[in-house]
């Protein structure tokens, strides 16, 4: 099991921290001494997770903030509250997401739900918190992608899947977008001389409610292939599935632009893994970043 290095004195934000890999990451960070903000859509579930973390680590410093990544007004309220507090942010773990929504659904801002929740919301969070991150001595942004991104592409002509919606294709596109966001942020940090590590991870095949909550939205249910895959494909628990993200966020060996996942693709201990071909396309990453700025109205601060 990956041992999180000492995190005393650090402030971390973990999105989707009420369950699955997010809750496990928050628990491990708090156990290592970090003060952790559980950024969750449903505060009651966040407080339950906080209680579980405190039960495991009585000295844990955890707090719950509401964040709905499918609503940019919620994102702005969240980043504004942290900015008003003014405390430098050491770690941002972009973990939350939704998967394989059966029917095309829109966010509060009219974005396709998977693109909005998995990419555009996290993009707005990351850019909104960037000034606080850059005030920290050695900040990191760790972003969760997925193995499904390996065969995905960004369809700029139908980014919101209006003309042609596929649950799995929209999910894969959103996770490739996360990967490209990580890559472009790492490039920006290098260009501007920021002491910021932007690294990515994928959890392999991890048993969380992500696999069931998305497919059952709006009365849907998982397809036959999904149901069979859940039963026969090698999988792992959140304790293991969270480790690539924790490694990206805390390991002294993690590098900016690095990508980390299970040793055997689906399961196993964390190791560096190669970015797939779609994730290495810097021109697409830059174009997608600009498109995300246009869609969300969020942008990074000027050179500093």
- List the catalytic residues: 171
* CB-facing half-sphere around the CA of 293: CA atoms within 13 A: 11
| 262 CB-near residues (< 8 Å, 6+ apart) | 203, 204, 236, 240, 244, 268, 269, 270, 271
Rg (CA), the chain: 18
Stretch (H or E) spanning 55: helix 43-56
Which helix (H) or strand (E) segment holds residue 66: the answer is strand 61-66
CA gap 238, 233 in Å, rounded? 16
Q: Are the CB atoms for 40 and 29 separated by under 8 Å?
A: no
Count of CA atoms in the C-beta half-sphere (13 A) of 172: 16
Q: Which two tokens stand for residue 237?
A: 């628990």
Neighbouring CB atoms inside 10 A of 80's CB total 11
For CA atoms 16, 194, 156, 275, the dihedral sign is negative
Local structure of residue 260 (DSSP, 8 states): E
Which candidate, 98, 35, 95, places its Cα nearest to that of 238? 95
Beta carbons within 10 angstroms of residue 192's beta carbon = 14
φ/ψ of residue 35, rounded to 5: -90, 125
């Amino acid at each position: 099991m990956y041992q999180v290095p000492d995190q005393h004195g650090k402030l971390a934000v973990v999105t989707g921290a009420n369950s699955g890999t997010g809750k496990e990451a928050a628990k491990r960070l708090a156990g290592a001494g970090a003060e952790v903000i559980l950024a969750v859509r449903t505060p009651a579930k966040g407080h339950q997770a906080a209680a579980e973390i405190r039960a495991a680590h009585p000295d844990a410093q955890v707090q719950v903030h509401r964040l709905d990544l499918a609503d940019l007004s919620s994102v702005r309220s969240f980043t504004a509250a942290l900015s008003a507090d003014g405390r430098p942010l050491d770690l941002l773990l972009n973990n939350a997401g939704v998967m394989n929504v059966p029917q095309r659904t829109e966010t509060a801002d009219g974005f396709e739900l998977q693109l909005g929740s998995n990419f555009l919301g996290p993009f707005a969070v990351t850019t909104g918190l960037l000034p606080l991150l850059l005030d920290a001595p050695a900040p990191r942004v760790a972003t969760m992608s997925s193995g499904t991104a390996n065969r995905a592409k960004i369809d700029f002509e139908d980014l919101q899947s209006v003309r042609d919606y596929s649950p799995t294709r929209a999910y894969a596109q959103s996770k490739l977008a996360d990967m490209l966001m990580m890559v472009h942020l790492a490039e920006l940090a290098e260009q501007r001389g920021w002491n910021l590590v932007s690294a990515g991870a994928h959890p392999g095949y991890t048993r969380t409610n992500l696999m069931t909550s998305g497919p059952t939205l709006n009365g849907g249910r998982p397809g036959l292939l999904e149901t069979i895959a859940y039963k026969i494909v090698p999988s792992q628990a959140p304790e293991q599935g969270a480790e690539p993200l924790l490694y990206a966020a805390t390991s002294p060996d993690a590098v900016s632009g690095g990508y980390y996942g299970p040793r055997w693709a689906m399961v196993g201990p964390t190791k560096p893994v190669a970015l797939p071909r779609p994730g290495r396309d810097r021109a697409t990453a830059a174009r997608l970043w600009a498109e995300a700025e246009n869609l969300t109205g969020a942008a990074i601060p000027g050179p500093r």
